[in-house]
């Protein structure tokens, strides 16, 4: 029965994946909103340009492929911080918790908020600033569930709320993520993953900030307050397909994992990339990746992606305890990553993970 349910879930996700993949159109580039959904506050996956679709696990899976949420030991708590596009004074903050449910399931919650700092208030009469400041509030919160069938196939789904606002204007929307991970091989070496992200409602800004004063339509000498309607917009949906293979050396002391990933974006050019991760007993890890966006380097470079392609990162983990089978199950880990950018001075990510 479980196999039948799994096959149905994979079939449904595959049909959605095909529809999403064929829906992409570079001519629609820039038409989507809520770009915060494309940002990653987690350092471990950011070091691979978020292309570890096939083997991401725990809290970070809720940002890449929610199916990996269930591949944890018991409990995981993660904190993430990113200096987004160094020089812009924009920061990303992430908090996530995942908890095993039963033998094969897991639930999780993740929150990401953007910090824009203090922005000067300007008007047409005072373009240099009025002396006041404001700070937009952008955040999204997700609730996910994943289940692993016979340690081979994991499926997951996540519901996310998206909010963007200033003092007198706001917008809110809902999004759904879904994903599948498949593991096979003598030592579970080969991994394959598919994820659909940001499939959801249209968003529209509203509030008192969109009102304006104008003359009465009947021509009398008085003004009325009119409410301006903002155009609605779609979320930046995408499809990720990734695979990887673990080369285990010296009985698993060393692990070398090459990976490849394809991303189909509904509102921008598609992307393809590859990377590699080295692990020493899962206590020290190095990773690097390169991602290419189709259409990059054309005559018009204005639409070229911010990220030029290179990313790298490292992890240091400290064992905190062992499980009933003597394995080092509990860990405290520090992650760091850097992604190069076409303009500004790159993006730095720093993260802390505690796994029990």
What is the tens place of the pLDDT at every residue in 28-83? 777 889 999 999 999 999 999 999 999 999 999 999 999 999 999 899 999 999 99
Predicted confidence at residue 21, as pLDDT, reads: 43
Q: Looking at residue 4, what is its pLDDT?
A: 46
Range 88-103 average pLDDT: 95
Instruction: Indicate if the pLDDT at residue 190 is higher than 70.
Output: yes
Asked if residue 194 lies in contact with residue 178, where contact means CB atoms within 8 angstroms, the answer is no
Exposed, middle or buried by CB within 10 Å (0-12, 13-18, 19+), for 296? middle
Tokens, residue 329: 């199950």
Which residues have CB under 8 Å from 2's CB, separation 6+? 149, 150
Residue 143 confidence (pLDDT) above 50: yes
Give the three-state DSSP class for 208: helix
Of 53, 34, 338, give the one whose Cα is nearest residue 170. 34
- For the chain, give the percent of residues with pLDDT over 70: 87
- At residue 7, the pLDDT reads 47
Q: What is the pLDDT of residue 11?
A: 47
Q: Is the pLDDT of residue 219 over 90?
A: no
Q: In the block, which residue shows the tokens 């470079």?
A: 301
CA distances from 105 to 75, 100, 199, 252, 280 (A): 12, 6, 23, 26, 28
pLDDT confidence tier of residue 342, bands split at 50, 70 and 90: confident
Q: How is residue 64 written in tokens?
A: 């890449």
Instruction: Read off the pLDDT band of 99 (50, 70, 90).
Output: very high
pLDDT tens sequence across 230-257: 889 999 999 999 999 999 999 889 999 9
Confidence check: pLDDT of 312 > 60? yes
Look at the chain and report how many structural domains it folds into.
1
Phi/psi at 148 (5° precision): -110, 125
Q: How confident is the model at residue 212, as a pLDDT?
A: 83
Specify the pLDDT at position 16. 53
Which pLDDT score is estimated for 34?
A: 93
**Residue ranges making up the domain that contains 52:** 2-355
Span of 19-23, 151-155, 157-161 with lowest mean pLDDT: 19-23
- We report the CATH number of the domain holding residue 33 as 2.40.160.40
Residue 20 has pLDDT above 50, yes or no: no
């Amino acid at each position: 029965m479980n196999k039948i349910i799994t096959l149905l879930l994979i079939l449904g996700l595959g049909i959605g994946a095909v529809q999403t993949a064929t829906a992409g159109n570079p001519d629609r580039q820039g038409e989507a909103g809520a770009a915060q959904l494309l940002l990653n506050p987690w350092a471990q996956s950011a070091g691979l340009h978020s292309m570890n679709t096939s083997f991401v696990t725990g809290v970070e899976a809720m940002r890449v492929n929610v199916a990996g949420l269930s591949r944890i030991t018991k409990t995981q708590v993660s904190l993430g911080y990113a200096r987004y596009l160094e020089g812009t004074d924009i920061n990303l903050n992430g908090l996530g918790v995942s908890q095993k449910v039963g033998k094969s399931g897991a639930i999780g919650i993740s929150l990401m908020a953007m910090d824009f700092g203090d922005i000067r208030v300007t008007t047409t009469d005072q373009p240099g600033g009025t002396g006041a400041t404001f700070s937009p509030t952008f955040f999204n919160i997700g609730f996910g569930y994943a289940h692993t069938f016979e340690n081979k196939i994991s499926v997951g789904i996540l519901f996310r709320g998206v909010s963007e606002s200033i003092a007198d204007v706001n917008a809110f929307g809902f999004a759904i993520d879904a994903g599948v991970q498949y593991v096979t091989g003598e030592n579970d070496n080969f991994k394959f993953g598919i994820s659909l992200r940001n499939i959801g409602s249209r968003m529209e800004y509203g509030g008192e900030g969109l009102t304006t004063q104008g003359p009465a339509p009947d021509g009398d000498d008085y003004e009325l307050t009119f409410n301006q309607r903002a155009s609605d917009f779609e979320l930046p949906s995408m499809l990720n397909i990734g695979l990887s293979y673990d080369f285990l050396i010296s009985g698993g002391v060393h692990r070398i994992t090459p990976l490849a990933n394809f991303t189909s974006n509904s509102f921008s050019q598609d992307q393809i990339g590859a990377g590699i991760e080295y692990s020493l007993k899962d206590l020290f890890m190095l990773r690097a990746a390169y991602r290419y966006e189709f259409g990059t380097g054309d005559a018009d470079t204005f639409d070229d992606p911010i990220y030029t392609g290179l990313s790298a990162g490292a992890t240091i983990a400290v064992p905190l305890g062992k499980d009933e089978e003597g394995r080092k199950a509990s860990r405290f880990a520090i992650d760091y990553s850097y992604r190069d950018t076409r303009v500004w001075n790159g993006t730095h990510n720093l993260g802390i993970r505690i796994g029990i």
